[in-house]
């Protein structure tokens, strides 16, 4: 019986140590089954409440605490699991009962010291438990600044995009607003910034997957919808303006869908790694024409007709649409044009696009 208790305790302690290392220490995408289960349980509880709302702002308020709370619950779950694991080891090497073993383990793990035993075998385990508690808590505390630094960096570009793409953002709106203020030549700078943004998000959101569920400060903003809008703007620019410089736009598009594919890999979302340009997309041609009409309203220069541009636009969008739609549904991103369905139908108050009013000469 003691052997079985010892084996069970060792499995628990080593398994949780592995979870801590994979989540907080190893600087590369690594999956921890324990962490994933805990965070999904927390998310599921809030999602049940959010799914009952038909208002996007209300749903966003319900889901906003999920990711930060999941971090706290994960830490508590680690400590509770260590408590049980060390208690099993204490019971295996002594005559302690379940209650006494838990008391001894908790006293050492939390460095309280009120239940210290005088047996050598217990002392060794007490030392291990006493070192474990502060180390895990210290690692978690050190993990938070890195996490929030990545979040702040992500949200800075998302906030800057609000003036360029509306809120929630939309690909055609980016081109419209740049045309409206006669800055179409500056689109290259926008795409260059979002190429670097995509690379940074790919690294941070695969190393720390909880960031995927961190929501923007406002309900009408979302990192995924912002990325989708920039990629759609790039695809539209390529489709309608073949004579304009293409290299930076192509790089931004590729960085964008590589970012989405890296996140899809860490979340186990299936996708076609090499789709054909003529493969079907969920965005309909009629929805595409709605975006084209928006471009025409603001006299955006188009070198191709919608019929000619559609195959080119679709050929780019097939690389990222399915992943973007699936992620938008999973995280309940703010509803926006060309971003697919959500878990439940919701409504949102969309700010109107400001008119570029100029003095009459």
Q: What is the pLDDT along the chain (361 residues), one digit of tens a residue?
A: 778 888 898 999 999 999 999 988 887 777 888 999 999 999 999 999 998 888 888 899 999 999 999 999 999 999 999 999 988 888 887 777 778 888 888 888 877 665 555 555 667 788 888 888 888 989 888 889 989 999 999 999 999 998 888 889 999 999 999 998 888 888 999 999 999 999 999 999 999 999 999 999 998 999 999 999 999 999 999 999 999 989 999 999 999 999 999 999 999 999 999 999 999 999 999 999 999 999 998 889 999 999 999 999 999 999 999 999 999 999 999 999 999 998 887 766 554 444 545 544 4
Q: What is the DSSP string of 19-88?
A: HHIIIII-SS----HHHHHHHHHHHHHHHHHHTT--BHHHHHHHHTTHHHHHHHHHHHHHHHHHHHHHHH
Separation of alpha carbons 291 and 317, rounded Å: 14
Separation of alpha carbons 327 and 325, rounded Å: 6
∠ at Cα 128 (124, 132), nearest 5°?
A: 170
- Write out the two tokens for 134: 């502060």
Exposure letters 275-309 (e unless 16+ CB within 10 A, then b): beeeeebebeeeebeebbebbeebebebeeebeeb
Radius of gyration of the chain (CA): 26
Burial category of 272 from C-beta neighbours within 10 Å (exposed 0-12, middle 13-18, buried 19 and up): exposed
Separation of alpha carbons 348 and 342, rounded Å: 13
Which of helix, strand or coil describes residue 282?
Answer: coil
- Write out the two tokens for 131: 């070192």
pLDDT of residue 361: 45
Residue length of the chain: 361
Separation of alpha carbons 140 and 87, rounded Å: 23
- Write out the two tokens for 293: 């009409």
pLDDT of residue 118: 53
Nearest to 129 by CA among 153, 107, 149: 107
The pTM for the full model equals: 0.88
pLDDT of residue 117: 55
- Write out the two tokens for 350: 């969309």
Nearest to 164 by CA among 191, 138, 128: 191
Peptide bond into 168 cis (omega under 30): yes
pLDDT of residue 260: 97
Q: Who's near 308: CB < 8 A, 6+ residues apart?
A: none
pLDDT of residue 188: 94
Phi/psi of residue 194, nearest 5 degrees: -80, -20
Cα atoms in the Cβ-side hemisphere of radius 13 Å centred on 67: 18
Phi/psi of residue 347, nearest 5 degrees: -120, 155
Strand partners, 347: 55
pLDDT of residue 114: 55
Phi/psi of residue 55, nearest 5 degrees: -115, 125
Tell me the CA distances in angstroms from 235 to 121, 200, 221, 249, one per residue in order: 67, 21, 21, 8
Separation of alpha carbons 107 and 125, rounded Å: 12
Neighbours of 327 (CB within 10 A): 22
Q: Where are the domains of the chain?
A: 2-141, 166-330
Neighbours of 94 (CB within 10 A): 17
Strand partners, 55: 347
Distance of CA 183 to the CA centre of its chain: 31
């Amino acid at each position: 019986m003691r052997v079985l208790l010892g084996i069970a305790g060792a499995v628990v302690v080593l398994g949780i140590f592995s979870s801590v290392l994979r989540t907080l220490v190893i600087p590369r995408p690594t999956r921890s089954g324990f962490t994933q289960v805990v965070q999904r349980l927390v998310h599921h509880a809030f999602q049940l409440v959010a799914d009952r709302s038909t208002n996007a702002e209300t749903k966003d308020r319900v889901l906003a605490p999920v990711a930060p709370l999941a971090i706290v619950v994960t830490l508590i779950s680690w400590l509770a699991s260590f408590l049980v694991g060390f208690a099993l080891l204490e019971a295996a090497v002594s005559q302690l009962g379940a209650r006494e073993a838990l008391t001894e383990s908790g006293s050492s793990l939390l460095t309280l010291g009120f239940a210290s035993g005088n047996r050598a075998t217990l002392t060794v385990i007490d030392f291990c438990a006493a070192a474990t508690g502060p180390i895990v808590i210290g690692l978690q505390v050190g993990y938070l600044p890195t996490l929030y630094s990545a979040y702040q960096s992500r949200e800075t570009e998302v906030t800057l995009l609000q003036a360029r793409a509306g809120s929630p953002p939309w690909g055609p709106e980016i081109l419209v607003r740049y045309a409206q203020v006669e800055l179409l030549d500056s689109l290259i700078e926008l795409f260059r910034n979002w190429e670097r943004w995509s690379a940074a998000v790919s690294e941070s959101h695969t190393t720390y997957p909880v960031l995927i569920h961190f929501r923007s400060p406002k309900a009408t903003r979302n990192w995924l919808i912002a990325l989708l809008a920039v990629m759609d703007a790039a695809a539209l620019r390529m489709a309608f303006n073949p004579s304009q410089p293409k290299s930076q736009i192509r790089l931004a598009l590729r960085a964008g869908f590589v970012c989405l594919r890296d996140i899809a890999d860490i979340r186990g979302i299936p996708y076609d790694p090499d789709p054909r340009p003529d493969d079907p997309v969920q965005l309909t041609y009629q929805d595409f024409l709605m975006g084209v009409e928006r471009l025409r309203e603001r006299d955006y220069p188009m070198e191709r007709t919608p019929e000619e541009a559609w195959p080119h636009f679709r050929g780019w969008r097939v690389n990222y649409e399915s992943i973007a739609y699936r992620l938008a549904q999973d995280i309940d991103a703010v509803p926006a044009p060309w971003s697919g369905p959500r878990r439940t139908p919701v409504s949102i108050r969309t700010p109107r696009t400001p008119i570029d009013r100029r003095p009459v000469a």
